[in-house]
Structure 1
Amino acid sequence: MPKFAANLTMMYLEHPFLDRFAAAAKDGFKAVEFLFPYDFEAAEIKTRLADNGLTQALFNAPPGEWAAGERGIASLPGREPEFRKSIEKALEYTAVLGNRRLHVMAGLIAPEQLREKHRAVYLENLDYAAKEALSLGITVVIEPINTRDIPGFFLNRQDDAQAVCDEIGAPNLQVQFDIYHCQIVEGDIAVKLKRDMKRHNAGIGHIQVAGVPDRHEPYLGELNYPYLFELIDSLGYDGWIGCEYRPKAGTSDGLGWIKPYL
């Protein structure tokens, strides 16, 4: 049966961040994820996880200047030293929080910038991140993101992400398959899940869900999620599925769709 992690960056906004752990546990979640932990001490978050019997499924490495509009620095030429420091900081947090997945955001590229140059930096940085994470038992994941939500994002397609992983060849570098983003960019979700879940070199390291087109609860919108959950289960995926959506109303009130799985 699929197992789900509440995304505390988007869900339970009725509560302060540190109180969202208890709210998620009360609703039956056994795991959580969020974008960034760095505004809080790792030990403080670890206490919330332990007190509520929760597993940390995933978070993101530092993305650069988020408030200024940056969305990752892995593909940005000239930011390599900063990227290495960001991986060091992220791995310090994984050591405390216990997650085995770390998402590294690619970053933005302007139309006039050379894609080949950005890709070369991306490959070099991901190779470094994967090597640093390997001895700690951490898998680095990269996520294609649609350019409607994040215009100019460097990585947009599942096959491109798999090609990056293949080229680097690290055993702990995989793709984060966000069904919401994939549906907007490419569609054909079931075929891509079947194709990429079977891959031996890269494959799918984490899955996220949301309704399309409005990014509300998965039962709202154009996708048949019960079918997709059954498919994911049949393909042998045993990782967490992150609920990275914006509740249409209150978080708890909108969880009827997930009750059979919790």
Structure 2
Amino acid sequence: MPLKFAANLSFLYQEIPFLDRFEAAASDGFKGVEYLFPYEFEAAEIKKRLDDYGLTQALFNVAAGDFNNGERGLSSLTGREAEFLASLDQAIEYATELGCTRLHVMAGLRDTTVAEETQLAVYRNNLRKAAAVCEKSGITALIEPINTRDMPGYFLSNASMAAALIEEINHPNLRLQFDIYHVQRTDGDIIRQYQKLAPIIRHIQIANPPNRFEPDNGEINYPYIFDLLAAEGYDGWIGCEYKPSSSTRETLGWAREFLGAT
């Protein structure tokens, strides 16, 4: 099955303004885009770029609190439940306008002022609510384990914890965002992890350790992984959430066979 790659516009094409990155991605052959947050722009502005350049909005994040000052999500934070639900409503409004069916719900950092089990209970309850709310709009809420070397203190730090929560909540609109870069740094054994978790994976992201560069610049053998994903019939988007080691276009050699660009 042909693989589908989405340009992450928060990481790629940073040499040009954000709204110009849609055209750049389409020119390089991408059919989908993702990014961290759209909220500083009107949804209509982004929708026009998607329509103008024939792009699918693959994914973005629910607002994560005061991101610029270090917050990394609200869904596990005690006392922030109402703020989380308001941010979820905002994200669903944007997703509906943009035709996006996947939202990443960031967990937030470990709050050491409360017991871990207390924070986990808040997180579990908010994820149940998020899945139910998203279901009404035909959207899937995704959770993503993030390694704590890149994001110290992140509450959802490994794939086993994410899988256990998804199994426990048992809602079809709560699924896993499988970031190969984070899985490699946290657990390793990428192929076994993918095959074990494939039934609940609805989005994949890629970058190459140790520097989080493009897929052909680092320690992971991505051609092998891409062949396996195609052979096993993965039909979701693969988000290119990497830090280009030079200009974005110069780092797309690995992608030519997939994007059809020259």
User: TM-score w.r.t. structure 1 length?
Assistant: 0.97
Is the contact made by 1:194 and 1:235 (CA closer than 8 Å) also made in structure 2?
no
Give the aligned partner of residue 38 of structure 1: 39
Is the contact made by 1:140 and 1:173 (CA closer than 8 Å) also made in structure 2?
yes
**What percentage of residue pairs aligned between the two structures are identical?**
56
Q: In 2, distance between residues paired with 1:2 and 1:192?
A: 19
| Cα deviation, residue 110, structure 1 | 4.3
Residue 239 (structure 1) aligned to one of 231, 236, 240: 236
> Per-residue displacement from partner, 1:50-79 (whole Å, max 9, x unpaired)?
001100000000100111100001000000
Residue 207 (structure 2) aligned to one of 203, 206, 210: 210
| Cα deviation, residue 214, structure 1 | 0.3
Q: Tell me the secondary structure at the aligned position of residue 194 of structure 1.
A: helix
> Per-residue displacement from partner, 1:5-43 (whole Å, max 9, x unpaired)?
000000000110000000000000000000000000000
Give the aligned partner of residue 23 of structure 1: 24
Q: In 1, distance between residues paired with 2:116 and 2:176?
A: 20
Q: Tell me the secondary structure at the aligned position of residue 140 of structure 1.
A: strand
Residue 253 (structure 2) aligned to one of 222, 242, 256: 256
| Cα deviation, residue 111, structure 1 | 4.8
Is the contact made by 2:46 and 2:98 (CA closer than 8 Å) also made in structure 1?
yes
Q: Tell me the secondary structure at the aligned position of residue 202 of structure 2.
A: strand
Is the contact made by 1:5 and 1:240 (CA closer than 8 Å) also made in structure 2?
yes
User: TM-score w.r.t. structure 2 length?
Assistant: 0.97
Q: In 1, distance between residues paired with 2:216 and 2:111?
A: 35
**Superposition RMSD in Å:** 0.9
Q: What are the within-5 Å matches in structure 2 for residues 84-103 of structure 1? A: 84-103=85-104
| Cα deviation, residue 119, structure 1 | 0.6
Is the contact made by 2:111 and 2:119 (CA closer than 8 Å) also made in structure 1?
no
| Cα deviation, residue 113, structure 1 | 3.8
For structure 1, list consecutive stretches of 5 or more residues without a partner in the other structure.
none
Specify the code of the residue in structure 2 equivalent to 1:184.
R
Q: What are the within-5 Å matches in structure 2 for residues 117-136 of structure 1? A: 117-136=118-137
| Cα deviation, residue 235, structure 1 | 1.9
Is the contact made by 1:32 and 1:58 (CA closer than 8 Å) also made in structure 2?
yes
Is the contact made by 2:107 and 2:156 (CA closer than 8 Å) also made in structure 1?
yes
Specify the code of the residue in structure 2 equivalent to 1:155.
L
For structure 2, list consecutive stretches of 5 or more residues without a partner in the other structure.
none
Q: In 1, distance between residues paired with 2:170 and 2:116?
A: 21
Q: In 1, distance between residues paired with 2:19 and 2:233?
A: 33
Q: Tell me the secondary structure at the aligned position of residue 117 of structure 1.
A: helix
Q: In 2, distance between residues paired with 1:220 and 1:156?
A: 25
> Per-residue displacement from partner, 1:114-143 (whole Å, max 9, x unpaired)?
210111000110111110110211000000
